[in-house]
């Protein structure tokens, strides 16, 4: 088994070193992963003991939602949710790792001719500007190089001496807003990562028994979906879709002439459905069809580009994973097995702590937070 470890992409990095006055050994600095979405904040602190992750504290806090005309004050509620979440989770860290995603964030594999180290950053920025048509002057560009044996496997040509890896491009506006939110909550924002990279890091660091397989990670959040394909000894595949769980709710609400909030409540409250005389199972299935079609399109495209590849399994996480029977529904419609992905189940924690036990049971929502919490500064 070859495990590459976490992709070390940092859109910002504050180097912090503490040394014992007598032993002069670098100490591990406690950090908290902070996953910010429009309506909730998830925080998580982990500690690695002998290769096993232990949950120190974590949880989820809702963000108060405002009407469209009051959206300018929404950031204040996000800051409050971060502060409340850190306090409720009882984490003992002042340094945070958070993430960005959306239309002004791109993650992409790349290959370049072998270059001196000092020239790689400029070459990656040029590649980003050419292939992604992004304004690198107003963006942060970071990259991670993969080991030589991975690149050799991709090239399959001993005479070539290329380098390759993963690049992340995020607008300064997106990164600066995230940093401001976290630091307004009295935390030091040590690293800003990309959500999709955090998901891949979560997988490669936690799922040791699956890293030798080709795995399709599907994460549907509130406003977007991350699609990631991990395959041993090659660069990962990334795709982000602007279809999120809110999109599904809106489609059902329009079909049934119901409010967004009612549909959100009905989706996992069968008693509320019965009382309202509504059965949304068929509508939910219909609302998911375009999204499922895009999953199939992604699979076909990946197979076309990688003729020898065969996806072994789909791991599902994010908001949509909380719908009863969603894995079974997708299992029927997609060509490979689908499983709910809860990385917290493989961690140790204090079983007497009911708060921790409760969010471990909903761990399919915590995947991004895990990928952030395993980072080191």
Measured between alpha carbons, how far is 63 from 366 in angstroms, rounded to an integer? 16
Reduce the DSSP state of residue 73 to 3 states and report it: helix
pLDDT tens string 66-111: 655 555 678 999 999 999 999 988 888 899 999 999 888 999 999 9
Question: If you count them, how many residues does the chain have?
Answer: 377
Full strand arrangement of the beta sheet holding 215-220: 237-241, 225-230, 215-220, 313-318, 338-340
Measured between alpha carbons, how far is 194 from 105 in angstroms, rounded to an integer? 8
The verdict on residue 276 lying in a domain is: no
Number of folded domains in the chain?
A: 1
Question: Residue 377 belongs to what H/E stretch?
Answer: none
The verdict on residue 5 lying in a domain is: no
CA-nearest of 47, 64, 159 to 113 is 159
Q: What is the DSSP string of 316-366?
A: EEEGGGGSTTHHHHHHHHSSS-EEE--GGGGSB--TT-HHHHHHHHTGGG-
Regions in the chain scoring below 50 on pLDDT = 1-5, 14-26
pLDDT tens string 152-163: 888 887 778 899
Containing structural domain, residue 303: 31-250+282-373
CA angle 331, 333, 335 (to 5 degrees): 75
The verdict on residue 264 lying in a domain is: no
The verdict on residue 267 lying in a domain is: no
For residue 41, the domain's CATH number is 3.30.420.40
Measured between alpha carbons, how far is 218 from 78 in angstroms, rounded to an integer? 26
Measured between alpha carbons, how far is 289 from 333 in angstroms, rounded to an integer? 10
The verdict on residue 228 lying in a domain is: yes
CA dist 283 → 271, 287, 318, 319 (Å): 17, 6, 20, 17
The verdict on residue 107 lying in a domain is: yes
The verdict on residue 20 lying in a domain is: no
Full strand arrangement of the beta sheet holding 105-112: 105-112, 163-171, 139-145
The verdict on residue 121 lying in a domain is: yes
Q: What is the DSSP string of 222-290?
A: SS-EEEEEE-TTS--EEEEES--HHHHHHHHHHHHT--HHHHHHHTT-HHHHHHHT---HHHHHHHHHH
pTM listed for this prediction:
0.91
CA-nearest of 126, 125, 117, 163 to 142 is 125
CA-nearest of 112, 147, 156 to 130 is 112
pLDDT tens string 20-52: 333 334 457 889 999 999 899 999 999 988 878
Q: What pLDDT is attached to residue 330?
A: 96
């Amino acid at each position: 088994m070859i495990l590459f470890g976490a992709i070390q992409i940092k859109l910002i990095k504050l180097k912090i070193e503490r040394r014992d006055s007598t032993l002069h050994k670098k100490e591990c600095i406690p950090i908290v992963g902070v996953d910010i979405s429009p309506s909730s904040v998830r925080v998580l602190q982990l500690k690695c003991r002998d290769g096993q992750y232990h949950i120190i504290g974590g949880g989820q806090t809702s963000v108060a939602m405002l009407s469209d005309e009051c959206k300018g004050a929404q950031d204040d509620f996000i800051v409050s949710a971060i502060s409340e979440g850190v306090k409720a989770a009882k984490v003992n860290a002042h340094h945070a790792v958070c993430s960005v995603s959306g239309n002004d964030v791109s993650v992409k594999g790349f290959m370049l001719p072998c270059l001196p180290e000092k020239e790689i950053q400029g070459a990656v920025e040029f590649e980003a500007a050419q292939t992604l048509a992004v304004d690198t002057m107003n963006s942060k560009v970071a990259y991670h190089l993969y080991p030589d044996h991975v690149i050799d496997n991709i090239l399959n040509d001993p005479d070539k001496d290329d380098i390759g890896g993963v690049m992340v491009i995020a607008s300064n506006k997106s990164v600066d807003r995230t940093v401001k939110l976290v630091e307004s909550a009295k935390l030091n924002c040590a690293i800003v990562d990309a959500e999709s990279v955090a998901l891949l890091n979560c997988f490669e660091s936690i799922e040791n028994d699956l890293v030798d397989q080709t795995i399709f990670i599907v994460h549907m959040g509130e406003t977007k979906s991350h699609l990631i394909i991990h395959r041993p000894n090659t660069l990962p595949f990334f795709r982000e879709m602007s279809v999120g769980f809110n999109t599904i709710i809106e489609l059902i609400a329009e079909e049934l002439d119901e409010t967004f909030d009612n549909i959100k409540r009905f989706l996992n409250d069968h008693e509320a459905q019965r009382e309202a005389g509504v059965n949304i199972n068929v509508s939910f299935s219909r609302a998911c069809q375009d999204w499922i079609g895009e999953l199939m399109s992604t699979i076909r495209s990946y197979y076309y580009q990688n003729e020898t590849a065969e996806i072994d399994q789909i791991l599902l996480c994010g908001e949509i994973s909380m719908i009863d029977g969603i894995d079974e529904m997708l299992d029927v419609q997609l060509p490979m097995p689908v499983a709910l992905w809860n990385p917290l189940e493989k961690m140790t924690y204090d079983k007497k702590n009911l708060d921790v036990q409760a969010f471990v049971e909903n761990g399919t929502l915590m995947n991004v937070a895990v990928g952030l919490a395993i980072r080191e500064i």
